[in-house]
Amino acid sequence: MNVPMSGPMSVTVGVVQFPGTNCDLDTLDALAELGARTALLRSDETLLSGVDAVVIPGGFAHGDYLRTGAIARFSPIMGAVASFAGAGGPVVGICNGFQVLTEAGLLPGALRPNAGLSFLCRPQQLVMASVNHAVGHGLSPSDQLSIPINHFEGNYVCDRATLQRLRANGQVVMRYVGNPNGSVDDIAGVCNEAGNVVGLMPHPERATSELLGSADGRKLLEALLSAAASTRQAIGHHAA
């Protein structure tokens, strides 16, 4: 699964696995195909050793029981993820990972059940809204992407003041073209103020090959690897 890339650009991405996570192996595969070293991080671990970026992948952490992400945020690994994010390390939550990051307070807002009250798995047209964040390198605002969505709770909500702040700070990462779930302002992804923590409802790891319908997700994952490489040059491997 690991396909190490030689040279200084080779970075290591940690992928978090909670009980009930199910996109962990897909995310590892997609990152490895792009040349990253990968490490599976179990949710009961308390340290992130030697990773340059963290992905919290999709799935149903702890069965989504109680509320999506509500139990996962208390996992030991989340303390380490918060420290890593606080030090400027790139952290990307995809789908359920996005839900976990909002529950953990690392991203603003929350994700409610889709307005149509049914699960949606389908290709989705998206437009980039900003690029000064962990998955923006190499992309331009208004770039169109086709990436699948796969969620029941993807209806992004936040209060009016937060929405104004997100817009003013360029924290809206991407928007839906044709809002599928009722998200406020068509928001499909947001980042924190520093831009190093990103939440995405679409699944970039599912769009890495034309054979599977789209390769647009590679652009976001490649951007993450660039962000990881920059972080590594700036702050070195995250100290254990």
Partner 1 sequence: MTAAVSDSSSIHAALGLTDAEYERICELVDREPNHLELAMYAVMWSEHCSYKSSRRHLARLPTEAPCVLVGPGENAGVVDVGDGIAVAVRIESHNHPSAIEPYQGAATGVGGILRDIFTMGARPIALADPLRVGPLDEPRSNWIAEGIVSGISGYGNSVGVPTVAGEFVSCETYRDNPLVNVAALGIMPTERLVLGRATEVGSAAVLMGASTGRDGIGGVSVLASAGFDEADDDSTKRPSVQVGDPFEEKRLIEACLELLEAGLVSGIQDLGGAGLTCAASETASRGGTGMEVDVSVVPLRQHGMAPFEIMTSESQERMLAIVSPANVDRVLEICTRWEVSATVVGRVTGDGMLRVRDGMDGGVLAEVRASTLHDDAPSYDRPRRPPADLTLRRSVDPAADPAVGSSSASSSSDCAADLAAMLADPSWVYRQYDHQLFLNTVVGPGRDATLLRLRDPRDGTPTGRGLAVSVDGNHRWCDADPCVGTAMVVVEAALNLACVGADPLALINCLNFGNPTHPEVMWQLSEAIDGMAEACDALGVPVVGGNVSLYNETNGTDISPTPVVCLLGVHPDLVRRPIADELPPGTALMLLAPSGPAAHDGGAAVGAAAEHTASVADGSARQVALGGSRWAWERRGCRDGALPELDLAGSVATARFVAAAVRDGFVQCAHDVSDGGIAVAIAEMCCHSGAGVHARVPSLGSPAPAERSLFAEPPGRVLVAVEPGNTERLASAAAQAAITCRRLGSFGGSRVQIGRLAESGLDIDLALDDTRARWRGALPEVFSQPVDGAAA
Site for partner 1 (CB under 8 A): which residue of 5, 9, 22, 143? Answer: 22
Q: Give residue 119's Cα distance to chain centre.
A: 20
- Span from 74-82, 103-111, 117-125, 187-195 in contact with partner 1 (CB under 8 A): 117-125
DSSP helix/strand/coil, 151: strand
Tokens of 238: 């995250």
CA distance 186 to 199: 14
Site for partner 1 (CB under 8 A): which residue of 212, 235, 239, 240? Answer: 212
Catalytic residues: 95, 203, 205
CA distance 157 to 236: 36
- Span from 62-70, 97-105, 166-174, 224-232 in contact with partner 1 (CB under 8 A): 62-70
Q: Rg of the chain over CA atoms, in angstroms? A: 16
The answer to whether 201 and 151 have CB atoms below 8 angstroms apart is yes
The answer to whether 149 and 202 have CB atoms below 8 angstroms apart is yes
Site for partner 1 (CB under 8 A): which residue of 8, 210, 234, 236? Answer: 210
Window 63 to 92, contacts with partner 1 (CB under 8 A): 63-65
In the complex, minimum distance from the CB of residue 128 to partner 1, in angstroms, rounded to a whole number: 21
Cβ closest to partner 1, residue 33 vs residue 88: 33
Count of residues for the chain? 240
Please identify which residue in the block is written with the tokens 């998955």. 135
In the complex, minimum distance from the CB of residue 147 to partner 1, in angstroms, rounded to a whole number: 11
CA distance 25 to 82: 23
Amino acid identity of residue 101, one-letter, is L
Residues 178-197: x where in contact with partner 1 by CB under 8 A, - otherwise, as a string: xxxxx---------------
Using CB under 8 A as the binding rule, whether residue 1 contacts partner 1 is answered as yes
Residue numbers at the binding site for partner 1 (CB under 8 A): 1, 19-20, 22-23, 25-26, 29-30, 59-60, 62-65, 114-116, 118-122, 148, 150, 152, 178-182, 203, 205-206, 208-213
